[in-house]
Structure 1
């Protein structure tokens, strides 16, 4: 068997990513699928009103919205993203996220080599 780079996910099975993280009252829940020096892939669920405060990353980050709606601040600009939409947050630019309603996303971060 070859090495497996993904974790916390079933192989060879059709899955709905939005069903792999559950909402918890007053919490942000995460499930890491990949984390190494080059890439991170994490699923998140946010209860309404939960947030991740402003921070920056050394990698480019892409949010794919799986359910709900959130407000994402990138630098000094605000964006509202909803199910089916994606947005890229460039490396080294402060960004923050606020769940306007219950919200699920897949976060992919690609780090410099």
Structure 2
């Protein structure tokens, strides 16, 4: 496996402030893919206030770690206000979505079953 880069779009062998790897932009959602495989994806997001991801479902569990700001995360019929330093797990196959109630950054990890 030598020479295969599994993690991308971030520096190696140094300490990095994750939240600084994505920047806010007016009226936009900015993303930066860290890794993307059939069974795992890790992505950084920066949402301007009011930006959203509409309700959808995924075959994998999704872990959202809030790095900055606040978002309202909806899982099924349940609404959760998540702020900096908090983590929310969205279970597989349950509709979920989110809206930035203020400018908001998150690290999203989606783990899917391997078949």
TM-score by length of 2: 0.96
Partner of 2:104: 103
Alpha carbon RMSD of aligned pairs, Å? 0.7
Report the Cα distance in structure 2 between the residues aligned to 1:52 and 1:44, rounded to whole angstroms.
11
Q: CA deviation at 1:4?
A: 1.7
Q: CA deviation at 1:63?
A: 0.1
* SS of residue in 2 equivalent to 1:93: coil
1:92-112 CA distance string (max 9 Å, x none): 000010000000000000010
Gaps of 5+ in 2: none
* SS of residue in 1 equivalent to 2:31: strand
Partner of 2:91: 90
Partner of 1:68: 69
TM-score by length of 1: 0.98
Matches within 5 A, 1:1-113: 1-113=2-114
Report the Cα distance in structure 2 between the residues aligned to 1:11 and 1:34, rounded to whole angstroms.
14
Report the Cα distance in structure 1 between the residues aligned to 2:67 and 2:3, rounded to whole angstroms.
30
1:71-92 CA distance string (max 9 Å, x none): 0000000000000000100000
Report the Cα distance in structure 1 between the residues aligned to 2:39 and 2:97, rounded to whole angstroms.
22
Report the Cα distance in structure 1 between the residues aligned to 2:9 and 2:100, rounded to whole angstroms.
24
* SS of residue in 1 equivalent to 2:101: strand
How many residue pairs get matched?
A: 113
Q: CA deviation at 1:6?
A: 0.3
Structure having the higher strand fraction is 1
